[in-house]
Amino acid sequence: MKELLNELTNELEGKSIEEQLSFLSNRFPGKVVFSSSLGQEDQVITEIIGVNKIAVNIFTIDTGRLFPELYELTDKTRNRYKIKMDVFFPNNEDVENLVNEKGFTSFYESVENRVECCNIRKVKPLNRALQGAKVWITGLRGEQSLNRSSMQLLEWEEGRQLYKFNPLINWSYNDVLAYIEKNDVPYNPLHNKGFISIGCSPCTRAIEKGEDPRSGRWWWETSKKECGLHK
Ligand code: SF4
């Protein structure tokens, strides 16, 4: 699998995103999945998949701590494109143990506690959703963070033994906004209230103009601002 990275990258170069997604879904039938958090980037990708009826399995993760707006947007998105969007939940015992032992807001107390909560509510369901997949599509953009700036269009993820395809890796935030406006793509109304990168409600806040877009996530921490989904 890993040996195909250069060949596949060459195939993808020069193609539109629609063509790239079609190529991958034909090359790996039934094994291409897209994890959507319903952020603006993910909505762009869903639009391309939905309008062109590309055979990609779309899923999202309900951590149990999401904003109500996200549930409305999930249903709206499903209805607009007439697509299936599987929802993965955390293991109920894991959540019960966490909350019963440490309470509902342990993530504010230490980075370890925050990572533990993200691991239970996000990473473990993600790993379950990715089982059997050969290509994982993401909405990551290089300019979102230092961590993401070194990412490639197509990468091999050794830990999960799959290709990670980042079709928007070279897009700017303005590119995303322009695409959404032009195509009337549905998006979370919180984006109009200063929320740029949106995760769980207790761990996301609105930011001021000019602030780092990721600064609204886990704002009380000074570390890297990743939840462990993208290693
Ligand atoms: Fe838990 Fe916050 Fe991570 Fe959501 S973002 S899983 S509430 S620590």
Percent of all residues in the chain with a pLDDT value above 90, rounded to a whole number: 83
131-135: list long-range contacts, CB under 8 Å, 24+ apart.
Answer: 132/31, 133/31, 133/32, 133/33, 133/57, 133/162, 134/1, 134/28, 134/31, 134/32, 134/162, 134/163, 135/24, 135/28, 135/31, 135/32, 135/33, 135/162, 135/163, 135/164, 135/165
- Split at pLDDT 50, 70, 90, the class of 229 is low
Is 227 catalytic? The answer is yes
Nearest ligand 1 atom to alpha carbon 117: 1
**Residue with CA at minimum distance from ligand 1 atom 6:** 118
Residue 181 Cα to ligand 1 middle (Å): 30
Q: Is the CB of 133 under 6 A from ligand 1?
A: no
Instruction: Convert the pLDDT of each residue in 174-224 to its tens digit.
Output: 999 999 999 999 999 999 999 988 999 999 999 988 888 788 889 999 865
pLDDT at 228 over 80: no
Atom of ligand 1 at shortest range from CA of 122: 6
Q: What is the pTM of this model?
A: 0.92
- 63-73 pLDDT, tens digit per residue, is 999 999 999 99
What ligand 1 atom has the least distance to the C-alpha of 115?
Answer: 8
